[in-house]
Structure 1
Amino acid sequence: MNIPYVGSGPYCYANAFAMMFGAAAPSTAVIEFSTASPFGMQLIGGRLPFFDPYGWDPERGFDDALAALGWSSDVARGGTAEEALSGLKSALTHGPVWVGPVEMGYLTHQPGMKEPIEADHYVVVLEVDEERVLMHDPQGYPFALLPLTDFMAAWAAKTVAYGTPYTMRTRFVRQRNVTEVDIIKAAIPAAKQWLSMEHAPVMPAGSLGNSRAAEALAELVADNCDDALRGHLIHFAVRVGARRTSDAAACLARIGSVDAAVIVAEQARLIGSLQHPLVVGDDRRAAAALMNLVPTYDRLRAVL
């Protein structure tokens, strides 16, 4: 039985979208599902693991997600810092603005943040003046105030591995009313495409996907789990990977895809089971869980 998780966790863009949609927002589980993020695994450059599809990043999932969700938005990207700030101020006259990716390390309202950590994040900006930015930060900080200089450094996103500096989405419009079940069904084609790895972009040398990624990560964890890899896994990758797969299992069950739901629920349990052994240094047990994850991707692709 899959008991869906409810609680805190790194669901920044799903939470940010939900804030922009307001009272018409579907659940964050359905929003996350619509991006296709739960369908795969990747090991970038042979070293950096994520429990999301090979070649995927959030920006690559947003257009498909908005289409499935029945919404549209205007997107602005790039330009100079002065142009971006001017555009943000203008956009705020029409309501909150969805901003990201930003470099989380410059969000100095978060304890311990004072320099880049190469972590992407998304926020909803509410107000801007000459000195500060008021935002809802879905990391757990409503109505956070941030010095404008720190916000602009974060928004430049120079240390984020994807996306374009100064990206924001505005003028969210609901194009049609769709049920959550309809959203889930509409997202399945993109999910299958990402799981197949057939349309992934050019990846860094040594990158692997799905079963090969799980097997290679098991070897890394067993033989050479350094502090950087361990920290990435226990503070982000495992937490979000277990949650999004658990949510995906619940979504699949809602549309009657029972066999797929069972497999994805198994993935959620295996990914979640990595947390304690990695924290306490029981790397052999973590590696064994990853090896159990290996065959699930081919099984899921066959079922879908």
Structure 2
Amino acid sequence: MHIPYVGSGPYCYSNSFAMLMGEHAPPTAVIETLTGGPFGMQLLAGKLPFFDPYGWDPSEGFDNVLSSLGWTSTVTSGGEAADALARLREAVAKGPVWVGPVEMGHLHHQPGMTGPIGADHYVVVLAVDDDTVLMHDPQGFPYATLPLADFMTAWAKETVAYGDPYTLRTDFARLGEVGEVEALRAGLATATSWLHLRDDVPVPPGTLGNGEAAEALAVVWAAGPDEGLRGHLEHFAIRVGARRLDDAATCLARLDLAEASSILREQARLVGALQYPAVKRDDDAVAAGLRELAPTYDRLRAVLSS
């Protein structure tokens, strides 16, 4: 019997969406699956691995989440800092505001965050006064406060590789009642299209996808990765990758897509099993796990295309 994972993990944008949707929010597993994030792997510029699709970033999946679930929102971004702050103040006067991406390293209420680390994050802003921002930070910090200057630096996201600075979403509105299974059916084709290595999204030169990404990362790992790459894999990429794959497997099982669900569950186990050898620096075991993972992407794509 399969037991879906429930617990902590870096699900910042899915958790933030769920907070804004309130009592009508679906499980975060549904939100994450509809973003398309579970369907693929990429090695950005041939160097930085993510267990998410080639050319994908979180912002690419947000419209599919909202439309599939029967929601709308208003998104604004860019401009000068003073104008962005005015937008935020106006929006938060009406209710909570979904904000991101922000640079996590500037969120100094989080222990160990002393400067930019190139990590994206999403929060729900609850209030803004002259000097302080009050927020629900889904990293595990409800009602966190942060000096306004630090928040604005984080929101400028100068060290985050995707998205526009000063992006926020407001005016969340539910247009009609859409069930979770109905939403998954409506959004599945768009979500799973990312398995096909889409050519309509820009990627850095040298970026690889799916099986090629896994094989190339195995070569890097067998040769001994640098400390930054080790930390990225063991602190973030494995955790979120295994969880979103497990969530997608659960969601596709609800659509009676048993074979696709089984492959996703296999991928979740393979990715999750990388955690121990990554932490223990058993580089050969990590490389072997990545090579075992590589052919599963073509299998999943074939099943979902049939």
Amino acid at match of 2:18: A
Aligned to 2:105: 105
Aligned to 1:262: 262
Alignment partners' CA distance in 1, 2:129 and 2:198: 46
User: What pairs up with 1:8-27 in 2 under 5 angstroms?
Assistant: 8-27=8-27
User: What pairs up with 1:1-304 in 2 under 5 angstroms?
Assistant: 1-304=1-304
Counterpart contact for 1:2–1:250, Cα < 8 Å:
no
Alignment partners' CA distance in 2, 1:97 and 1:192: 29
- SS of alignment partner, residue 185 of structure 2: helix
Alignment partners' CA distance in 2, 1:289 and 1:175: 44
Amino acid at match of 2:16: A
Deviation at 1:129, TM superposition (A): 0.4
- SS of alignment partner, residue 126 of structure 2: strand
- SS of alignment partner, residue 101 of structure 1: strand
Alignment partners' CA distance in 2, 1:57 and 1:5: 23
Deviation at 1:70, TM superposition (A): 1.0
- Post-superposition Cα deviations, 1:69-128, rounded to whole Å, max 9, x if no partner, equal 111000010001000000100001210000000000000000011100000000000000
Bigger Cα displacement from structure 2, 179-188 vs 32-41: 179-188
Counterpart contact for 2:17–2:98, Cα < 8 Å:
yes
Amino acid at match of 1:68: S
Amino acid at match of 1:258: A
Counterpart contact for 1:38–1:52, Cα < 8 Å:
yes
Amino acid at match of 2:99: V
Deviation at 1:179, TM superposition (A): 0.7
Alignment partners' CA distance in 1, 2:223 and 2:60: 33
Percent of pairs with identical residues = 62
Alignment partners' CA distance in 2, 1:210 and 1:289: 14
Structure 1 unaligned regions, length at least 5: none
Deviation at 1:200, TM superposition (A): 4.2
Alignment partners' CA distance in 2, 1:278 and 1:107: 27
Amino acid at match of 1:8: S
Counterpart contact for 1:2–1:249, Cα < 8 Å:
no
Amino acid at match of 1:221: W
Deviation at 1:64, TM superposition (A): 1.2
Amino acid at match of 1:140: G
- The structure 1 segments of at least 4 consecutive aligned residues displaced by more than 3 Å after TM superposition are none
Structure 2 unaligned regions, length at least 5: none
TM-score by length of 2: 0.98
- SS of alignment partner, residue 94 of structure 2: coil
Deviation at 1:175, TM superposition (A): 1.2
Deviation at 1:193, TM superposition (A): 1.4
Report the aligned-residue RMSD: 0.8
Amino acid at match of 2:75: V
Deviation at 1:166, TM superposition (A): 0.1
Alignment partners' CA distance in 1, 2:209 and 2:14: 24
Alignment partners' CA distance in 1, 2:199 and 2:28: 26
Deviation at 1:192, TM superposition (A): 2.7
Deviation at 1:279, TM superposition (A): 0.3
Alignment partners' CA distance in 2, 1:42 and 1:2: 27
Counterpart contact for 2:249–2:261, Cα < 8 Å:
yes
Counterpart contact for 1:34–1:69, Cα < 8 Å:
no
Counterpart contact for 2:89–2:128, Cα < 8 Å:
yes
